[in-house]
Structure 1
Amino acid sequence: MTKTYAALLRGINVSGHRKVPMAELRDVLEGLGHRDVRTYLQSGNAVFTTDAAASEETLTAGLEDAIESRFGFRVDCLVRGGDYLAAVADACPFPAAELEGKQLHAVYYSGPAAPERFASIDRDAYLPEEFALGDRVLYLYAPDGLGRSRLGEAVSRPAVVKGLVATARNWNTVLRLIEMTRED
């Protein structure tokens, strides 16, 4: 059974560090036996199909190992099915259609983001910024963008995300990855 996935790489191609050219990332994914490999932007977004009956975690581990072998450094990755990405968008509690893509973000996690992790954050202190939790995702509304978001910093502190891989995508990228993973 063929399934389409998105691979989300964390922290690559930022300020010239941890360079992973997208053409080489496509080669890595194809080398793992995946097909229909496409990348989006230079920030570590790839889409592929596979017949492998592997879990997202197994696909993630294989990709992380292959990247380390190819580039000589480890990159945290998350692999998510297109159906999961669409469900995340459908469950968004913020009025995405009324916002600019840079104002709304999905922070994807490698595991459940239990509310207790965020209990120490005084939400009122960050208004008008807001966040809401979903299935292995945090929705972040940052009206001035992620780069200026104080709440974005608070929800990504090591004490909050300890033990989880987290990677954020703006809403434009979220929607584009859903479009790319749609199975016709």
Structure 2
Amino acid sequence: MPTSTPAASSEARGSIRRVALLQSINLGQHRKLPMADLKAALEAAGHTSIATVLQTGNVLLDAPAEVANSELETRLRAEMAAAFDLDVPTLVRDADEWRAVVELDPFRALDPHPSRYVVVFCAEPPQERAVAALEGVDLEEDRWAVRGREIYVSCPNGQIQSPVLQRLGRPKSSDTSSGPATVRTWGTVLRVAAKLSGRNVSGLTPGDGRTS
């Protein structure tokens, strides 16, 4: 008998599988948030079918189909503040949107190392902001492209040395022109995609998404 994926199962129940990206979690001493505590808080708030990927604030959960991603973003941010006294801007993509991020990969032919290839997830389409920020900049070996609300950045010399990421920065949550943004490595993107499809991710190396 064929088995259904988690996304298909949730859709059959009238809900949609979502990916919530919590901004700047576990990047500093004052923003520590164990994933077990996060999962417990979300369950206490009434969320269902919760799973986390890595320690960087990647949460899979089901939400009713009638609940918009923007509504869920607002709710999750309020719940993080109530449970942990942290202001955590959050972006949500549904399962289909996440699969599209993988399928639209503009640098597949370059085969960049997954830890030196990142996706900047934005609240709004960032094309104009990205073009303005990078005008006249020596990109060195970096490459970048915008697809929808995501900026794909290949940075062979690493994220810290990336002229593209240095110039783009990360929009502040108070910046109403672009809204919050958060960065994930391509390895993380692939691990989340695998989790969404129900595939085993235990063979993926946490830092880069490659098989070990």
Question: Relative contact order (alpha carbons < 8 A, sep ≥ 6): 1 or 2 greater?
Answer: 1
Distance in 2 separating the partners of 1:76 and 1:14: 14
Give 1:52 shift: 5.0
For 1:86 and 1:122, locate their aligned partners in 2 and report how far apart those are by CA, in whole Å: 30
Over alpha carbons, which structure has the higher Rg? 2
Aligned to 1:95: 108
Given that 2:170 and 2:182 are in contact with CA atoms closer than 8 Å, whether structure 1 keeps it comes out as no
Taking the aligned partners of 2:127 and 2:90, their CA distance within structure 1 comes to 20
Residues 4 and 183, structure 1, Cα contact 8 Å, conserved in 2: no
SS of the residue corresponding to residue 148 of structure 1 reads coil
* Aligned position for 1:148: 161
Equivalent residue for 1:110? 123
Equivalences for residues 44-123 of structure 1 within 5 A: 44-95=57-108, 98-122=111-135
Answering whether residue 33 of structure 2 is matched by residue 26 of structure 1, we say: no
Task: Give the CA deviation at 1:166.
Answer: 0.6
SS at match of 1:128: coil
Q: CA deviation at 1:13?
A: 1.1
Q: Separation in 1 of the partners of 2:92 and 2:59?
A: 9
Out of 187, 190, 204, which is 1:172 matched to? 187
Q: Distance in 2 between matches of 1:157 and 1:25?
A: 24
5+ residue gaps, structure 2: 1-13, 200-212
Change (3 A) 1:50 1:176: same
Extract unaligned runs of 5+ from structure 1: none
Identity, % of aligned positions: 30
* Contact 1:106 1:138 (C-alpha < 8 Å) held by counterparts: yes
Provide TM-score, normalisation by structure 1. Answer: 0.89
1: CA distance, partners of 2:15 / 2:148: 24
Task: Using structure 2 for the length normalisation, give the TM-score.
Answer: 0.78
Alpha-carbon contact 2:25-2:57 (below 8 Å) kept: yes
Q: What is the alpha-carbon distance in structure 1 between the residues aligned to residue 116 and residue 193 of structure 2?
A: 18
Query: What is the number of equivalent residue pairs in this alignment?
Result: 183
Other structure's SS at 1:172 match: helix
Q: 1:40 corresponds to which residue?
A: 53
Distance 1:116 1:51, change over 3 A: closer
